[in-house]
């Protein structure tokens, strides 16, 4: 099996760290709004990858997280405050909605589905390791990773420091924090302050002890966004994992920071052997995003179209490339699914079997080639048409079973 590795920028033969065992981590949602098609595209792709690896005989342990808390004052904390509710109630509400939408798309639940707020202990453990190893420093109960201590910082994104600053600003990183040695240093722990608004939570931490007598003890605080995924991947999987995935927009700063944190804490390289990223979904010419208000909601689509129709549209696009959603794709997908359904429903009375073993093999070859789901779907439609054409002359029962098996791997409910 060949997979494109964002770390090496090339397609590579997939060889897991351990024979027949795969550890996979995918960055999950920040739950403060509803599930849109961009979310569905990423998580449906990794759902198919998960299914296919199991089909190949691997034992797969798959972790996905929920960023229900981080060091940012905006997103979930701001939204909760605006709606006069607590951050954890808002997070629980939208996490439940997300899981309902994905379940309706026939998404397989990961082995581990972790909330960041429930994993604080593992985050503190890694931060303490980074302090001990000399990669992190503490200032006024805040803790930062010194990127100048990380010799290969930037090996995933391959960005210049100048462009990193631009990207960091776009992600609202605290680059102007006066406590930092360097603007790009990674916030591992953000300390609570005396004037902190009441709606912002604070978790106990060991940082800040040994301060002047008038200010003894730790003020508590919140974990940085990036350290959360390092901690959850390591605690639920291992210090080294096979696959790390997420949207392409996370390469910098999030995934770059994860590598620096994880490898500096454990001393083991690589943290993740294969980095896999999904492309951006556009709508009406722009990236689908909450801030632009150009979202296509999964729940709205499910009112008009079947889960198989939506999944067909998502898988008809190459996972790593950007694409623009157009409503007419749903109609085209329905037409293709009707052909497939017809091929599965017919009863063959002939004795001479039709052999579609080569067709089944070719469909698998598409998935072996960097999970080329668009090509696999074309071959599935081709097999369905062959069944419909040859049914009058040959027994197509075995071919129908092959077709069902291919559809099952791709997560269809037909």
Clarify whether residues 126 and 146 are in a common domain.
yes
In whole angstroms, give the CA distance from residue 185 to residue 146.
5
Instruction: Report the side by side order of strands in the sheet with 142-145.
Output: 136-139, 142-145, 186-191, 221-223
Clarify whether residues 308 and 246 are in a common domain: no
C-alpha to C-alpha distance for 81 and 106, rounded to whole angstroms? 33
Nearest 5 degrees, angle CA 68-CA 140-CA 121? 40
Q: Which of 242, 257, 278 is the last residue of a domain?
A: 278
**Whether residues 259 and 369 fall in one domain:** no
Q: How far is CA 48 from the centre of its chain?
A: 12
Which phi and psi angles does 176 have, rounded to 5°? -100, 15
Q: Of 278, 297, 315, which residue is a domain's last? A: 278
- Beta-strand ranges (E) seen in 195-311 are 221-223, 241-247, 272-278, 281-283, 286-287
104 and 227 housed in the same domain: yes
43-93 pLDDT, tens digit per residue, is 999 999 999 999 999 999 999 999 999 999 888 999 999 999 999 999 999
pTM of structure: 0.95
pLDDT at position 347: 85
Q: Is residue 143 part of a domain?
A: yes
Cα angle, residue 209 at apex, residues 206 and 212 outer, rounded to 5°: 160
Residues 274 and 152 in one domain: yes
CATH of residue 332's domain is 1.10.730.10
CA distance 318 to 373: 7
Residues 71 and 133 reside in one and the same domain: yes
Residue 4 domain flag = no
List, for residues 244-284, the tens digit of each pLDDT value: 999 999 999 999 999 999 999 999 999 999 999 999 999 99
Of 247, 278, 309, the residue that ends a domain is 278
- Beta pairing class for 272-278 and 281-283: unpaired
What is the chain's mean pLDDT, rounded?
A: 94
Q: What is the pLDDT of residues 335-394, one digit of tens each?
A: 999 999 999 999 876 676 666 567 778 899 999 999 999 999 999 999 999 899 888 778
Residue 21: pLDDT band with limits 50, 70, 90: very high
> Residue 133: which CATH number?
3.40.50.620
Domain coverage including residue 304: 286-409
Eight-class DSSP state of 150: -
Instruction: Give 135-170 pLDDT, tens digit per residue.
Output: 999 999 999 999 999 999 999 999 999 999 999 999
> How many CA atoms lie within 13 Å of 182's alpha carbon, on the beta-carbon side?
16
Specify the residue for token string 């009375």. Answer: 349
Burial 81-100 (b: 16+ CB within 10 A, else e): beeeeebeebbeebbebbbe
Residues 290 and 175 in one domain: no
> Among 275, 257, 7, 22, which Cα is nearest to 126's?
257
Domain identity same for 209 and 322: no
How many domains does one find in the chain? 2
Structural domain contains residue 2: no
Q: Are 249 and 280 in contact (CB under 8 A)?
A: yes
């Amino acid at each position: 099996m060949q997979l494109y590795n964002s770390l090496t920028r090339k397609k590579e033969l997939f060889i897991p760290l351990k024979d027949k065992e795969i550890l996979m981590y995918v960055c999950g949602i920040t739950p403060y709004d509803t599930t849109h098609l961009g979310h569905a595209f990423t998580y449906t792709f990794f759902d198919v990858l998960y299914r296919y690896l199991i089909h190949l005989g691997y034992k797969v342990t798959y972790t996905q997280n929920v960023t229900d808390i981080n060091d940012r004052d905006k997103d979930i904390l701001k939204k909760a405050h605006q709606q006069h509710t607590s951050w954890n109630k808002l997070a629980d509400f939208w996490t439940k909605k997300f899981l309902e939408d994905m379940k309706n798309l026939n998404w397989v639940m990961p082995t581990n589905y972790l909330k960041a707020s429930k994993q604080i202990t593992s985050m503190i453990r890694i931060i303490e390791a980074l302090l001990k190893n000399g990669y992190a420093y503490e200032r006024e109960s805040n803790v930062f990773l010194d990127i100048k201590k990380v010799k290969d910082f930037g090996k995933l994104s391959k960005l210049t420091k100048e462009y990193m600053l631009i990207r960091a600003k776009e992600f609202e990183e605290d680059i102007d924090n006066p406590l930092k040695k360097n603007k790009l240093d990674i916030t591992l722990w953000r300390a609570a302050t005396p004037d902190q608004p009441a709606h912002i939570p604070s978790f106990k931490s060991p940082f800040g002890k040994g301060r002047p007598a008038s200010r003894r003890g730790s003020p508590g605080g919140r974990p940085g966004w990036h350290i959360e995924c390092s901690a959850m991947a390591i605690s639920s999987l291992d210090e080294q994992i096979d696959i790390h995935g997420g949207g392409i927009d996370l390469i910098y700063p999030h995934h770059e920071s994860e590598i620096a944190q994880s490898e500096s804490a454990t001393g083991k390289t690589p943290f993740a052997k294969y980095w896999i990223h999904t492309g951006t979904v556009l709508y009406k010419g722009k990236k689908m995003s909450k801030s632009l208000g150009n979202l296509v909601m999964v729940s709205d689509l499910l009112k008009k179209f079947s889960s198989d129709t939506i999944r067909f549209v998502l898988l008809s696009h190459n996972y790593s490339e950007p694409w623009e959603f157009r409503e007419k794709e749903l109609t085209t997908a329905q037409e293709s699914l009707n052909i497939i359904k017809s091929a599965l429903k017919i009863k063959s009375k002939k004795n001479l079997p039709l052999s579609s073993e080569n067709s089944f093999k070719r469909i698998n070859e598409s998935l072996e080639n960097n999970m080329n789901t668009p090509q696999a779907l074309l071959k599935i439609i081709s097999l369905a048409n062959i069944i419909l054409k040859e049914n009058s002359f040959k027994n197509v029962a075995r071919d129908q079973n092959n077709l069902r098996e291919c559809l099952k791997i791709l997560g269809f409910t037909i």
